[in-house]
Structure 1
Amino acid sequence: MYTFLFGIVLLIVGYFTYGKFVEKTFGVKSERKTPAYTNSDGVDYLPMNSRKNALIQLLNIAGVGPIFGPIMGALYGPVAFLWIVLGAIFAGAVHDYLTGMISIRNRGAHLPELAGKFLGKFMKHVVNAFSILLLLLVGTVFVSAPAELLHNLMNGWGSFGIILAVIFAYYLLATLLPIDKIIGRFYPVFGLLLLISAVGVGVSLIINKAPIPELTLENFHPDGAPIFPLLFLTISCGALSGFHATQTPIISRTTESESQGRKIFYGMMIAEGVIAMIWAAAAMSLFNGSTGLNELLAAGGPAAVVSEVSTLMLGAIGGTLAILGVIILPITSGDTAFRSARMIIADYIRLPQLKVRNRLWIALPLFAASIALTQIDFTLLWRYFSWANQSTAVIALFVGAMYLYLARKNYWISLIPGVFMLMATTTYILNAPIGFRLPLNISYVLAAIISIILVSLFFYHARKTRGIGIPLDEQAETWQDAA
């Protein structure tokens, strides 16, 4: 249990120390007007207070990822704690903060726009396709997972298809309506429910003295399993997630002041790390080791683990509330996944979003594609989601590194985790069954060569761009005016 508790403490300390360092490195301008004011349109751009934005950001980024991912990552043992803590502090929170703040400096731009500006026009098109694919996968996964949990919670009462339809109907409303009508009004309440349920499970683990294993050299590689790269893709949202780069611009368009960025972007990633630690600890300690956990996962997937943990730790009533909190997680990330996809496509084709008709033209095909994807096996979807998710994180970290390089600031805070994850994602797709199926040793070598080439191209482009000189920050103007 000491590894678990020490990890929680490190996450909190990381927010007040490394988070402050990252904020100072970026250079906050509190007096600068944010897009919430300069681009105000009453739909996507409008100011909301920091407490509300922080809780919305937490729900946006914390889908089933910081729960399902750590539950499956628990099969690797306590080394999962190490990745969650170090990943959240030095990679995930840096990723979220930089994408959020750079977006604020550039009229609330989404990742494809930022990639096009800082990594070249070709990357804009690549990242646009990647982002839409990722968001479709996220939206689909976050329809299926809560529907399954609800179906189980009701003991099979009610059609699974009807539950899916109800969730899709809600997603459509949340995607189309102004952000303050549903998301801004209900998410803060849902955020509190999420935090209470997670803290409840965590406190119960401590009070009941759950046998949470300690990290040792002996269990660093459980059963000789190669933790690189699989662990770093299995646990994503609790440590580092490219999905967050698609969500932070939603809140960058509602943030009142740049000084609130550390609390909203860096802080909520740390909170997600704490949630991930709690669920990883529960999965490791309550099922007689990896054998029992494997059996439960094989029988009912991560949703079954959530139900068992919640009931064991909190009883029937408390467990039901905890399960409801977990159900809310994916729903409140799924709706913003579709909303973000709508905004990215609208920005890409320069289609104003003031009229509901324009929003429908984009939203309806997205939902049709997602409905088709629900017919695919969840496990297969999760594998593709994991790779697309972490590949997007790599791109976002390189965007952050380029911004800081051009600003002549410490770009290593973003480049180092970016290169590490570039190596991990490249190794994975070369070796994985969903990729090229190459032997692991060959995958390591090829991934290293590819990473060296891409990093060399990064520095070549960075030096060339610095020589030309481009404006890092744009004076606010609406996308409609720009079009």
Structure 2
Amino acid sequence: MTWFLLCVGLLIGGYFIYGAFVEKVFGVNAQRQTPAFTKTDGVDYVPMSKGKVYLIQLLNIAGVGPIFGPILGALYGPAAMLWIVFGCIFAGAVHDYFSGMLSVRNNGQSVPNLAGKYLGKPAKHFMNVFAIVLLLLVGVVFISAPAGLLSKLTGYDMAIFVGIIFSYYLIATLVPVDKIIGRLYPFFGALLMFMSVGLTLAIIVSSEHTLLPGFEAKDFLTNLNPNDMPLWPALFITIACGAVSGFHATQSPLMARCVENESNGRFVFFGAMIGEGVIALIWCAIALSFFGGIEGLNAGMDGNPANVVYAASNGLLGAVGGFLAILGVIVLPITSGDTAFRSARLILSEFFKMPQTQISKRLLLAIPLFAIGAILTQVDFGIIWRYFGVANQTTAVLMLWTASAYLLRHNKLHWICTLPAMFMTCVVISFLLSSPTLGAGLNMTVSTIAGLVSTLVITALIMVKTKGKAVEDEAELNVELANKASTEA
């Protein structure tokens, strides 16, 4: 239990210490009006309180990622917990903070436009395609997972629940953000936190189960995977949403359009990612503990992390508590899936320069997205999940480089974004080169060397190109400094 509490303490400390440092580097201006007020439209730009926006952001980014990913990652052993802690603090929370705050500073624009502004037009066009693909994959993953759990709970055919969830997604994607998302999601966010705390307390006081049984300090640096899967780079793709996730970059602009003050950014964006890290840590610890170790986990999972959720929830909380916990796991992906389609609609609206105040124009963009999503639900879930993982982390790489370029162009400490961008670039390239199913299937040593070399080349190119743009941003920087000076005065 000591190791678990230490990890939770590190995450909380990361919010207060490193989060404050990142906020200082960015330089918030509490006097600057946010897009929630300058572009209020009653549909997507709607001012909301800090607490409400935080809970919605937490639900938007959570999905099944911080549950299924850590459960799968637990097969590697306690090393998964280290990646959740340090990845969340130094990569994921930084990624989410900048994806949200850069959107706030740029009238609530989505990540493709941000990438285009700070990395150039090719990055914008690539990100437009990549973000839409990722969001469609997310929407499909977050339909299949809850539909499967509902089918398991009720015995009804999964196709029925797929249809019901799809219908809800369409409604939630079209109506103003404060009608369903703004009213119901704060309640669901509270349910999520209650479920996480309840499961943690249940396993701590349980007489049948021990938290992290038999693991020693050396196990946190050892690959214990029973299926001989390599820790590098697979672990960093497997555990995405609990550590760093590109999907969050597509979600943060939704709440950037609702944030009332820039000073709320650390709590909403950095804080929600820390909250998700705690959830991921809880499920990783439960997976390592409930079945008595990694061998038991491997057998109990039987290839599907939903089996772990079902068994652990009922085993630790009983029939009623287990039902509520499973309900929370069902709600999570649904509340992320609808915002995935909503984000896709908004990205397309920016691309086609199509205002979304009229429902007919929202339908014009939403219906094709849902048609493609319906087709993708027929593809095997395992295949969709693998492609989602790679697409997710590639998007995170692009967002981190976008944030790094912003800091470079404004003569700020860019390394807080550059170092995690370099690490994740190496992870993605090494994984794609070594993966026999998604990539080239090359030798791991060759793939890693190629990943390192490619990362250094990309870093050099971005730094050289971005420094050349710094002069163009001088006027914008002077405005920022003047605003900051007036605020301090």
TM tier relative to shorter chain: over 0.9
Residues 298-447 of structure 1 mapped to structure 2, 5 A cutoff: 298=302, 301-432=304-435, 433-447=437-451
RMSD: 1.5
- Paired AA for residue 16 in structure 1: F
Unaligned runs of 5+ in 2: 480-489
- Paired AA for residue 364 in structure 2: W
| Contact 2:79 2:219 (C-alpha < 8 Å) held by counterparts | no
How far apart are 1:407 and its partner, in Å?
1.3
Matched, 1:236 2:237: no
For the residue of structure 1 that corresponds to 2:258, the secondary structure is coil
Could you say which residue in structure 1 is the equivalent of 2:75?
75
Report the Cα distance in structure 2 between the residues aligned to 1:472 and 1:52, rounded to whole angstroms.
Answer: 32
How far apart are 1:129 and its partner, in Å?
0.6
Matched, 1:46 2:46: yes
| Contact 2:77 2:219 (C-alpha < 8 Å) held by counterparts | no
Cα 1:61–1:173 change in 2 (3 A) is: same
What CA deviation, in whole Å up to 9, does each residue of 1:170-205 have, x standing for no partner? 000010000001000100001001110011011112
How far apart are 1:291 and its partner, in Å?
2.1
Could you say which residue in structure 1 is the equivalent of 2:486?
none
Could you say which residue in structure 1 is the equivalent of 2:117?
117
Report the Cα distance in structure 2 between the residues aligned to 1:105 and 1:274, rounded to whole angstroms.
Answer: 29
- Paired AA for residue 38 in structure 1: T
Could you say which residue in structure 1 is the equivalent of 2:183?
185
| Contact 1:75 1:293 (C-alpha < 8 Å) held by counterparts | yes
How far apart are 1:218 and its partner, in Å?
4.8
Unaligned runs of 5+ in 1: 476-483
| Contact 2:410 2:473 (C-alpha < 8 Å) held by counterparts | no
Q: TM-score, normalised by structure 1?
A: 0.95
Report the Cα distance in structure 2 between the residues aligned to 1:471 and 1:241, rounded to whole angstroms.
Answer: 33
How far apart are 1:251 and its partner, in Å?
0.1
Report the Cα distance in structure 1 between the residues aligned to 2:27 and 2:471, rounded to whole angstroms.
Answer: 22
1:173 counterpart (166, 171, 174): 171
For the residue of structure 2 that corresponds to 1:227, the secondary structure is coil
Residues 230-309 of structure 1 mapped to structure 2, 5 A cutoff: 230-298=234-302, 301-309=304-312
Report the Cα distance in structure 1 between the residues aligned to 2:197 and 2:453, rounded to whole angstroms.
Answer: 44
| Contact 2:70 2:239 (C-alpha < 8 Å) held by counterparts | yes
Report the Cα distance in structure 1 between the residues aligned to 2:219 and 2:24, rounded to whole angstroms.
Answer: 39
Residues 91-130 of structure 1 mapped to structure 2, 5 A cutoff: 91-130=91-130
For the residue of structure 2 that corresponds to 1:28, the secondary structure is coil
- Paired AA for residue 135 in structure 2: L
How far apart are 1:380 and its partner, in Å?
1.1
| Contact 2:88 2:242 (C-alpha < 8 Å) held by counterparts | yes
Report the Cα distance in structure 1 between the residues aligned to 2:210 and 2:407, rounded to whole angstroms.
Answer: 44
Report the Cα distance in structure 2 between the residues aligned to 1:472 and 1:355, rounded to whole angstroms.
Answer: 33
Could you say which residue in structure 2 is the equivalent of 1:217?
218
| Contact 1:79 1:215 (C-alpha < 8 Å) held by counterparts | no
Could you say which residue in structure 1 is the equivalent of 2:195?
197
Number of residues of Structure 1 aligned to a counterpart in Structure 2: 472
| Contact 1:106 1:473 (C-alpha < 8 Å) held by counterparts | no
What CA deviation, in whole Å up to 9, does each residue of 1:307-345 have, x standing for no partner? 111011111100000000010000000000000000001
Aligned-pair identity in percent equals 51
Report the Cα distance in structure 1 between the residues aligned to 2:238 and 2:70, rounded to whole angstroms.
Answer: 8
| Contact 1:96 1:248 (C-alpha < 8 Å) held by counterparts | yes
Q: TM-score, normalised by structure 2?
A: 0.94
Could you say which residue in structure 1 is the equivalent of 2:230?
226
- Paired AA for residue 348 in structure 2: I
Could you say which residue in structure 2 is the equivalent of 1:461?
465
What CA deviation, in whole Å up to 9, does each residue of 1:12-66 have, x standing for no partner? 1111111111111111100100000001111000101011100000000000000
Cα 1:468–1:274 change in 2 (3 A) is: same
How far apart are 1:290 and its partner, in Å?
2.0
